[in-house]
Amino acid sequence: MAQNFDTIPETALAWHRDGRGAVLATVVETWGSAPRRVGAQLAISGAGEIAGSVSGGCVEGAVIVEAQEALADGEHRMLEFGVSDGDAFAVGLACGGTIRVLVEPVGAAMPEALLADLVAARAARQPVAYEVNLDSGVRRLLHGAYPERMRMDRSGFEDDGQTFVSIHNPPLRLIVVGAVHIAQALVPMARIAGYDPAVIDPRETFASPERFPDVTLLHDWPDDAVAQLGLDARTALVLLTHDPKLDDPALEAGLRAACFYIGALGSTRTHGKRVERMKEAGFSDGDIARIHGPVGLDIGAAGPAEIAVSILAQMTAVLRGRAE
């Protein structure tokens, strides 16, 4: 899984440990139509190998040169580039922009142990903030800090203009129970939006590679399947079978976990029955209120594709704190 999970810090750590030298370049500020968002990273080895991007190709050459110099002197440096209209057009933008890039040689400016801890947190799907003060050079990893930045996936400078915070959230995941027509529309849409999808359905005729190409498919009973996948605060759980025998085991697992979104298909009447079953299972009113049912925003959706749009929109609203 984790198809949208970049491996830039992991690559930099591997290069450093291999003795090739490594530098991390991070976009820390942008103006105008900059090609990459704040937090985008490029790893550069001592041999000039690269992974990732800070500008979509506009300024990478200059960053590589600066990275080699940073490896030699062991100091971090701040670079600023204006992306011309012509260069911007070459990477698919309508106009130019400006970016600032922080260049940090690993082992000198950025301690190897700190980068290793960052890599370990990412592997364990633990949200973590990397904080660096450009004035003092103090760097640290923080768990449970910057909740608003974490929720919005928003790296950037604090008000002091010297403290840069890089957000490293686990990849978003979508777990769908029920390999129905809505799922066939929802899964590719969610993938485009940055989710790593998995579909659970013990009915192999429904959950087939032909219906869901290049998607993780599990044919286990839903409670066993979600236990295998794991549920956390970067996971959306969507239940689409209409069958309590399939939906409810996964739903109960989701209510016991920290999923940021739980949605269940069905009419208001169907949801009312679902609520009663969850009460009988011992869940509180607060727990049950986490279920979005009927699933999706009320946009007057007709047909599987439009219902999928409404679900993805609601997932986004909840993730970004815009849900009512």
> How large is the average pLDDT for residues 41-62?
89
> CA 173, CA 229: separation in Å to the nearest integer?
10
1 versus 322: the higher-pLDDT residue is 322
Domains of the chain: 8-168 (no CATH), 172-319 (3.40.50.720)
Segment 55-74 mean pLDDT: 89
Confidence of residue 1 (pLDDT cuts 50, 70, 90): very low
Q: Confidence band (pLDDT; 50, 70, 90) for 76?
A: very high
Local confidence band at 2 (pLDDT 50, 70, 90 cut-offs) = very low
Tell me the percentage of the chain whose pLDDT exceeds 90: 81
Rounded to whole angstroms, what are the CA distances from 277 to 127, 239, 248, 272, 318?
Answer: 33, 15, 9, 9, 24
Q: Where on the phi/psi map is residue 300: left (φ > 0), alpha (ψ -120 to 50), or beta?
A: left
Whole-prediction pTM: 0.79
Contact between 58 and 90 under an 8 Å Cβ cutoff? The reply is yes
Instruction: Judge whether residue 177 has pLDDT over 90.
Output: yes
Whether the CB-CB separation of 78 and 133 falls below 8 Å is answered with no
Do 109 and 137 touch, CB atoms closer than 8 A?
Answer: yes
